[in-house]
Structure 1
Amino acid sequence: MTSDSRTLQIPEHQQDGAAQKSCYQKLSDEHVEELELYRKNGLHPVHLGDVLNNRYEVLHKLGHGTSATVWLCFDTQTSAWKAIKIIGASHSSDDRPELKFQLQLSRSDLVALPTDHFWLVGPNGRHVCLVMPPLGPSVSSKHQTMDLEALREVSMQAADGLAYMHRKGICHGDFRTGNLLFRLDSARINDLSKGDMLALIGEVTKIVVETDFGEEPGSISPRYLVHSLNTDIFADFITCQIAVIGLSLAFEITKPPKTSSVDLPYASPQLLLRLPPSTHSDVWALGCTLLEMQTGSVFGTAPFEIMQSMELLLGPLPKPLQRTWSRVYPEEMLHPEGNTEYLTWRSDVISEIKKHTRNADCLLKELAMSRKQSLKGLLAADDKNKPGSIVWQVPEKQVTQIGDLIKQTLSYDLHTRHTADAVVQHVWFDQARIHRKPRV
């Protein structure tokens, strides 16, 4: 294993003290976490070869976020491979949703849950660590290379997982393609020795951290940052089964939080209007997930952009939502240039939207072609790092069925928006039900 030669320098006076809070150099590398997250009550510094809880030997980093890092570890007691999620100190508690709902959700493997947890004390505080089986790549990284039948099976599993959570009285709160991961064949993975795994991993990329005097950083920061492992190395171990992850925002249906931190592209109109999350917003996020898997696209990343795309797909917002929108988003917030053309409730714009809004059949024919074109674009992009994409034609009958399914999940009206259980029973999933294999 080797590291690259890059270094990240931080001022000497920022080591170990409170003054370091916001002075770290920003990184533009998406494969590593921001160094400024390593601070008091922040992330725990980890190095390859560390042994956590006198048991789990760290071999590589699987992923990271603003509140946690995830590490591939060898369990020295059982000789099994584990994913250890180390939560930042300020986010650590015995009441975390992953632990709180563990018993309620334990009877199904549709949701990935910790098999154990422990506490770790480090220079930045006390951290709860979740022990989980290692998982494969996300649906967000794979859906554009999947054929229609694989998409249908994965879509039904996604709906199944959400419906299961709702039946148990729990909302997910952050449902999206990035929180759907393919399961690995655990028996075959656990047959790998440490040497086998190291050979599979290959070269490890590190970014060395130094002070501006060329010295190692203080104890609150790692000596180096590690590029996240490309889980494509597990291609031979990936199963056709997925698991729902990302339960950090989950909550009891009867006790919703006042606000939501869901990714904007998956936010329902009600969430965009700052209403509390619910099962309805979960189903909307499921609809966005299904739409993304079919088209390769989401509504947008900013409120004005999302609303434009939403209205072109679904028609104008109902008047009560329009009035709330105008209060929540003043004119200057809708578009960076303050262009009133983007005020979606203007009568001339609404008239134009109504004229061009498609019905389900026409809409999904267009969506099917949209996906086909996007795949052609991938093939023509001359990006050698992209896997080969499959160009396929969706049968007209399925186009109509998919259109109906997406329309039912993306209804503005909460009373007509499908429940997750109703989504699972949709006619488009009939073939997947017939050919479904038992989950292992």
Structure 2
Amino acid sequence: MFYPDNERFPYELEDPIDDSDTENPRCYQKGGFHPILLGDRLGPRSNGRFRVVNKLGAGGYGTVWLCQDTHYKPSTITKWRVVKLIAAKKSTPNCPDLKILDYFRDVARSTLDDFGICLPLEHFWLTGPNGRHLALVFPWHGCTLGTIPDYYGFHPALIKDMAFELVESLRFLHLRGLCHGDFRPSNVLLRLLPGADEMPESQLEEVLSEPYKARVIRISDGKFLDELPSTERPANIPEYMVAPATVPIAWGLHTRHPVLIDLGVSFPFSQPPKQGTTGIPISFAAPEDIFRTFDNNSRRPLLGPAADIWSLACTLAHLRVARNPFQVDQADLSSVVAQWEECLSPLPEPYRSKYREIEDIETPLDEVWGDTPAIQLDPVVDPKAVYEGRAERRLATSGTRNWLKARMMRMRRLEVYPEAAKKMLKEEMQSDAKVKERLPFLEDMEVPNVSKEGMEVTMEKEEIELFWSLLEGCWRWKPEERVSIEEVVRHPWFEGRGPREIPKPAPWMVVVRTMWSFWDYVKSVSRGRVHCVREQEWSLIVMGRLPPVVAAACRRIGKFFFALFGSLTPSALRKKLVWDPKMFSSNPPGTPRQATEDAADWETW
């Protein structure tokens, strides 16, 4: 049964978990999340390959679980994987999480790892009481980037290393013609040390601590679901919900290498979202994303690689300064615009008119008649005098009118004092002889800009100017005026860290993987699914990655096949090829495909 938002849901948590990464009980209804309990086995049909041991997160997409791969070889090794279960209504054969894989068919897994791109290792389909769910299997990584500045902000070289690797990850996507669409600290994880995903379960329990469970109550009588008779327990909602766990920084299991995750809203440069936004939180969103602006001539959304550049700058500011200057606690548009105007300049057109329309603010007559030049526009949120007063106070105290520069000059206290961290390192190595590296990038490091009285950090004035020049180039109002990813990667703030060459795949690999993509298309159509590789996307995979003669031949072959099969309906295709659809399913005759998870639902990339 589905309960609309205006109708009360019959279940609630006994003790609500105070964490934004925990789902609402309302998510567990038709088309929503798959109910999971610790110890459950996940896999297609009776496979049960992945044993659930802890929860790592949740969001609008679904839930993320840490699982043991019970089929891993050799069986003497415990292998930990991450399984992301997508909500049923978002689980389709052509959903973005699967579709994005087609753009990396010709890329070796080692290359993706080198450039910090995290894609599913494999996927399967799981049918439950709330519908049919897509399950994605990932490697296990550590904490998000958001926790780093408060711990390691005292070491600028380390921060720059991480920042540069992030830029390289985004550059890798942009060179393949893709926008990430949701670039922010929570979508960047730190890799764990080699072998961490094979630690014994006893050590894992010590690292993550015991999962916290919040029991679910039936509102009508106040009874806990786990106390009800099995015949009365609802199948669509779990008996309890689990608070997300993460690997604490203090364990020293993290490396300094970030990994970019969640490419589910990524899109090609030529195919921006029709709605004009990717749904990225407004604190990290570019103006053209928030106001959903379109090109006046083509009426296409203005979203593109420049929106990623804006989000990248917000992420870099968070990493180096421990604060995104446009960060707000809630989705408060006026607060974000006020921060923009204080840090940059008054909001220009076309965003200015759209903001006033959203906030129902009357436009002054001098702007209506064009009497005020754009350079003399007043802020649209707070009066100009307010901004001027703040700027004058900053000038008197910090020597700059710029809000973010003043923030960089301010001393801040961090969470870890270096002497304490080194002491922790020594104690850990003495207590556990098996652990060779604890807090690996704290040992024997120089600690600049730290006072003896406390863990307080400031930036040098020369670095402040360099860093601001990088951010300012990324935060220009017009997308076409922002710097490109190639300009970012060569910016002097990175102190000579040059871009790495991206290895080109062998021509035969491109051909094989491209034809593999086409086979996926034929297979999906024969199963009655929407095809996952369109003709233009298939051509994009080939274009520019093969010698001209080979590329031309591949394009001709592709056009022939798409002309032959591309416009056919599933039934027409089956008749044309004289294929038996039962060859793709192990279901008994008359059994609906959606009612079971069969072996054909297991696919590995």
Which TM-score band (shorter chain)?
A: 0.7 to 0.9
Distance (Å, rounded) in 2 between the aligned partners of 1:108 and 1:377:
33
- Give yes or no for the alignment of 1:184 onto 2:192: yes
Query: 1:11-50, aligned counterparts within 5 Å?
Result: 17-19=1-3, 22-23=8-9, 24-25=11-12, 27=16, 29-30=18-19, 32-50=22-40
Residue number in structure 1 paired with 2:161: 153
**8 Å Cα contact 1:315-1:354 kept in structure 2:** no
Residue number in structure 2 paired with 1:336: none
Residue number in structure 1 paired with 2:81: 82
Report the 3-state secondary structure (helix = DSSP H, G, I; strand = E; otherwise coil) of the residue aligned with 1:247. coil
Residue number in structure 2 paired with 1:13: none
Note the C-alpha offset of 1:399.
Answer: 1.3
Distance (Å, rounded) in 2 between the aligned partners of 1:137 and 1:233:
8
- Give yes or no for the alignment of 1:415 onto 2:480: yes
Give 5+ residue unaligned stretches, structure 1. 1-16, 333-342, 380-387, 436-440
Note the C-alpha offset of 1:154.
Answer: 1.5
Report how many residues are paired. 399
Note the C-alpha offset of 1:348.
Answer: 6.4
Structure with the greater alpha carbon radius of gyration: 2
Residue number in structure 2 paired with 1:5: none
Note the C-alpha offset of 1:286.
Answer: 0.9
**8 Å Cα contact 1:311-1:353 kept in structure 2:** no
Deviations 1:187-235 (A, max 9, x none): 3123312333234333221112232352524110001111111321783
**8 Å Cα contact 1:269-1:412 kept in structure 2:** yes
* Counterpart AA for 1:230: T
Note the C-alpha offset of 1:278.
Answer: 1.7
Note the C-alpha offset of 1:353.
Answer: 5.3
- Give yes or no for the alignment of 1:366 onto 2:372: no
Distance (Å, rounded) in 2 between the aligned partners of 1:190 and 1:179:
20
Distance (Å, rounded) in 1 between the aligned partners of 2:217 and 2:250:
33
Report the 3-state secondary structure (helix = DSSP H, G, I; strand = E; otherwise coil) of the residue aligned with 2:340. helix
Go from structure 1 to structure 2 and tell me whether the alpha carbon gap of 1:316 and 1:74 turns closer, same or farther (over 3 Å shift): same
Distance (Å, rounded) in 1 between the aligned partners of 2:340 and 2:3:
44
Q: TM-score, normalised by structure 2?
A: 0.60
* Counterpart AA for 2:123: H
Distance (Å, rounded) in 1 between the aligned partners of 2:468 and 2:102:
36
Residue number in structure 2 paired with 1:162: 170
* Counterpart AA for 1:412: W
Note the C-alpha offset of 1:131.
Answer: 0.3
**8 Å Cα contact 1:56-1:74 kept in structure 2:** yes
Residue number in structure 2 paired with 1:98: 97
Go from structure 1 to structure 2 and tell me whether the alpha carbon gap of 1:226 and 1:398 turns closer, same or farther (over 3 Å shift): same
Residue number in structure 2 paired with 1:4: none
Deviations 1:317-372 (A, max 9, x none): 2354433433343229xxxxxxxxxx82499628955994999x9446413124x2
Distance (Å, rounded) in 2 between the aligned partners of 1:99 and 1:263:
23
* Counterpart AA for 1:175: F
Distance (Å, rounded) in 2 between the aligned partners of 1:232 and 1:351:
42
Note the C-alpha offset of 1:83.
Answer: 0.3
Distance (Å, rounded) in 1 between the aligned partners of 2:318 and 2:207:
31
Residue number in structure 2 paired with 1:338: none
Query: 1:398-437, aligned counterparts within 5 Å?
Result: 398-433=463-498
Report the 3-state secondary structure (helix = DSSP H, G, I; strand = E; otherwise coil) of the residue aligned with 1:84. strand
* Counterpart AA for 2:336: I
**8 Å Cα contact 1:163-1:421 kept in structure 2:** yes
Residue number in structure 2 paired with 1:196: 203
Go from structure 1 to structure 2 and tell me whether the alpha carbon gap of 1:233 and 1:60 turns closer, same or farther (over 3 Å shift): farther
- Give yes or no for the alignment of 1:214 onto 2:220: no
Distance (Å, rounded) in 2 between the aligned partners of 1:99 and 1:413:
32
How many percent identity over aligned positions? 27
Distance (Å, rounded) in 2 between the aligned partners of 1:222 and 1:28:
15
RMSD of the TM alignment (CA)?
A: 3.2
Distance (Å, rounded) in 1 between the aligned partners of 2:176 and 2:252:
34
Note the C-alpha offset of 1:113.
Answer: 0.7
Distance (Å, rounded) in 2 between the aligned partners of 1:115 and 1:346:
47
- Give yes or no for the alignment of 1:108 onto 2:108: no
Report the 3-state secondary structure (helix = DSSP H, G, I; strand = E; otherwise coil) of the residue aligned with 2:26. helix
Residue number in structure 1 paired with 2:338: 308
Residue number in structure 2 paired with 1:326: 356
Go from structure 1 to structure 2 and tell me whether the alpha carbon gap of 1:398 and 1:434 turns closer, same or farther (over 3 Å shift): farther
**8 Å Cα contact 2:100-2:264 kept in structure 1:** no
- Give yes or no for the alignment of 1:259 onto 2:276: yes
* Counterpart AA for 1:99: L
Go from structure 1 to structure 2 and tell me whether the alpha carbon gap of 1:394 and 1:267 turns closer, same or farther (over 3 Å shift): same
Go from structure 1 to structure 2 and tell me whether the alpha carbon gap of 1:401 and 1:306 turns closer, same or farther (over 3 Å shift): same
**8 Å Cα contact 1:61-1:72 kept in structure 2:** yes
Residue number in structure 2 paired with 1:62: 56
- Give yes or no for the alignment of 1:129 onto 2:135: yes
Note the C-alpha offset of 1:430.
Answer: 2.5
Moved more, 415-424 or 53-62: 415-424
Distance (Å, rounded) in 1 between the aligned partners of 2:8 and 2:195:
44
Distance (Å, rounded) in 2 between the aligned partners of 1:416 and 1:80:
47
Note the C-alpha offset of 1:240.
Answer: 0.8
**8 Å Cα contact 1:22-1:36 kept in structure 2:** no
Note the C-alpha offset of 1:36.
Answer: 0.9
Residue number in structure 2 paired with 1:272: 290
Runs of 4+ in 1 over 6 A off after TM superposition: 376-379
Give 5+ residue unaligned stretches, structure 2. 73-77, 226-232, 294-300, 363-377, 418-449, 501-605
Q: TM-score, normalised by structure 1?
A: 0.82
Go from structure 1 to structure 2 and tell me whether the alpha carbon gap of 1:376 and 1:196 turns closer, same or farther (over 3 Å shift): closer
- Where is the strand percentage greater, Structure 1 or Structure 2? 1
Distance (Å, rounded) in 2 between the aligned partners of 1:93 and 1:366:
48
Moved more, 19-28 or 401-410: 19-28
Distance (Å, rounded) in 1 between the aligned partners of 2:406 and 2:462:
14
**8 Å Cα contact 1:86-1:130 kept in structure 2:** yes
